[in-house]
Structures are given as C-alpha cells and as structure tokens.
Structure 1
Amino acid sequence: MEKMIEIEKSGRIYLQLYSQLKGKIEKGKLKGKLTPVRKFAAELGISPSTVARAYDELERNGYVTKKEGSGVYVKFQKKKSIYLEDHMESEVFRYGYFNPEFEIDFASATPNETVLPMESLKRAINFVLDRDRESAFLYEDPQGYFYLRKTISERLKKEENINIDIKNIQIVSGAQQGIDMVSEAFLYPNDVVVVEDPTYRGAKDTFKKNGCKIIEISMQSDGFSVKEFEKILKRKK
C-alpha cells in the first residue's frame, strides 16, 4: 500500500496520510484489511503513532472499523452521505489537508487551501495585533465588531443603495448560526418552510428541530420552480 502514498515530511503528517487513504477508499482502490500500524509506519518511514492517529481519524469518520486482535478493515459504503455537521469534532475538518490529485470534498465545506491568500491574511492579523494589542483577544460586542458593522453599513449604502443602521447588523460566525438565529426568532411549531431541493441539510435539521413542516421545491437550470412555489402558496399559509 505504501506505493500509493506520498508523504511530505512536514506539517501534520497524519492528516496527509488520512486524506490520501480516505481518497483511495472513496474511489474503491483500497478495500479489505489495512496494513498493520507498525509495518505501514516502517514502509513509509514515519512513526507508528502517526499511522495510528490516521487510522483513528478514518474510524471516526466512518471509513474503517477496528476488530480487536484482528486489525483495521475498510467499511466505507459509497452511497453513504457525509455531512460536516456530523464531524464537527474531527480535526481533519478544522485543519484540512488538500491534495490536488483528489476531487474537492464538498462535505468539508472548506476551500482548497492552495487558493487561500496567506500573505494577505498574515498582514491583516499582524495589523490587528499591532493596533489592538491585548484587547484583540477579549470578547467582542455580541452583535459583532463595531467598525466591521460600520463598514458593512457604509458599503451597503454606497454600492447597493441599502440604508441600514449599524445597530441592525448582526455578525454571525457562519451560515449555520445565522439560520439558527433566524429560525428561533421567526418560526413556530407547525409553520411551513419551503426549501429548494437539493438544499443545505443543516438548515432542514434546524427547521425540523423547531417543529416546522418542510416542503421541498425542485430546482431548474435557472433556479427553483416558480410555478411549484405558486401552487404551494395557494395551499399553505
């Protein structure tokens, strides 16, 4: 199996190994029993603990199963759907390793690391630390950083002709938090929510958690079906 794996002896090696093994499993190139930890580590020239950690990550995300006294076996089902929210505690999604030879994994909801503007980000971080010093690590206003909200307000007014007060802007950590907040504020049990099909699973889970009834509306080449939506509006409040 070592001939299929290329490891750069830098960074998080176990994540490189995990990513490549995961790709081989998903493509059906790796089946049955995996090479024992110590043997595989010797073949790759890395520590056994690194291989063991990669195997642990595969098991945590449903790609392999460990059988006591027997070994580690591939159990991945190709039809199995994997969603980011099912693996929020997994380090691989927080520190994803991207290998260009593999397809982009939409389950991780993260961009290809090779396109991230690292130099610009470093300059921005250093600027903030130099400007705000220790206060950069303190809790911010629950609505979000004031000057960020001020900038958003000014840009919306200038570029989109949308007048919105700073106090009416809420900064969220991501789409899921925004959906959760809007749902808690506006939705009640038995409300009807219309969603596109396909749509983001996290949104549907939030609506279901609030006791809402979900109706899916098919997507067409130019967006969702307006005719279907009209029919739903005539039937449902």
Structure 2
Amino acid sequence: MPKHGKLYRNAVKDIDLSQKFDVSEAMKLVLQSAFAKFDETVDVAMCLGVDPKHSDQMVRGAVTLPHGLGKQVRIAAFCKGDKEAEAREAGADFVGADELIEKIQGGWLDFDKAVATPDMMAQVGKIGRLLGPRGLMPNAKTGTVTFDIANAIQELKAGRVEFKVDKAGVLHAPLGKKSFGADKLLDNFKTLIETVMRMKPSAAKGTYLKSLAMASTMGPGIQIDPLSVRRFLEG
C-alpha cells in the first residue's frame, strides 16, 4: 500500500477521514487540507443508485457553473461555411472541417473540448476512436452537437461541465479552483447537484444519492453526509 508524504499527513492529522460531514463543513475541510503550491482544482465524486449497464439508468448531461472553472478551455469546432466564422467569433480556438479532421488523424489533440454541427458528424465519426477515449467526442446529449454552435462554444468557455456516470455508477465532476473560496465553490456545487438530482432516471430504484465526497487535486477525500445535501439545497 503506497505511503502518503509528509505534507499530506500534516494536512489530514486533525481530520477524521472516516466521518461524514455536512456540505459546508466538508468544503471548509477540503480547502483547509489543500497543501499543494499550485491552485488546486476541487472535485466532487458521487456514487449514484443506478446501473449504467441499462440505458434507461444512464445519467449523463452537462451544466454551466455560475462561477466557471477558473481555467482556459481550448475548443475545437468542426463546422463549415458560415458556421466557421460564427465559431471563430464565439471564441473557438481551432475551427475547420476536413483539414481539422486530417490534423487530428495525424496525432494532434491539443484541445480540451470539441463541438460540431450535425452535418459534420459523419466526418467526425471517422476520428471517434481518437476522440472518444479522451472524452473529446461531440455529443448531442451534452449539447456539443448543434447548429447553434456559438452558444455551445460560449457555454464551454464560461465553465460548462459535462458529466457521465462510470460503470460503477460513480459520477466525477470539477467544481472550480481552490482560489475561488468556499462561497463560489458551494454555488457551483449547488448548481451541479441540483442538475444531477433532476436527472434521476425513473427506472432507478432505492436511494439515488448513495454517497459523495469532495477533494482537492492533491488533498484527501472528505466524505459528505448525503442527508445534508437536501438541507443544503433547501437552505
């Protein structure tokens, strides 16, 4: 079993990691225990009571966080004709059609998100095996395949987060940077959790939000009492 370093041990020495905290206290502890010299990202992980093997229990979507994510998002836009100028004006970093696809086929993947107009998806599908495993494949369910490409780009630039449960029913999502402070990070968390709760599949039985935890990039996972989430949303 790997050993934690001195900085990590010092950060958690006064925290009972087996305890479950309410949302606000958990956020306080996450920020308190973040020890890296860089501006760490704060993430949340939720275990949902769904079985993703069944399509009617898949939880997948996107949400624009009110305070963004605190980082520059490089966007590739697959489009042609008038939509190319629209994408550039909206702030896309890389815009094109066949030539952009050929560049990616050659091994270039220097971007964070991708959007596409529906008429480009047949061509984009040719590089699906390159984009898919990296989470870069445009998808209509997350709003990244659309003719309203300017709006999609602006939302991604503003801090739009895409999420999807993994095979174990766990959903991971970033909430922003440590430097945001507790209030902004909690606002982002509230927007995310409200969206996830609204997306509960009708086929999912039993407890939907089974467990969740927050952590900074290098810090420990702080468990949250699922019962406190409802109080937090109503507060």
TM-score (norm 1): 0.24
Bigger relative contact order (CA 8 A; separation at least 6) = 2
Q: Which has the larger radius of gyration?
A: 1
Is the helix fraction higher in 1 or 2? 1
User: What's the TM-score, normalizing by structure 2?
Assistant: 0.25
| Higher normalized strand content (fraction of residues) | 2
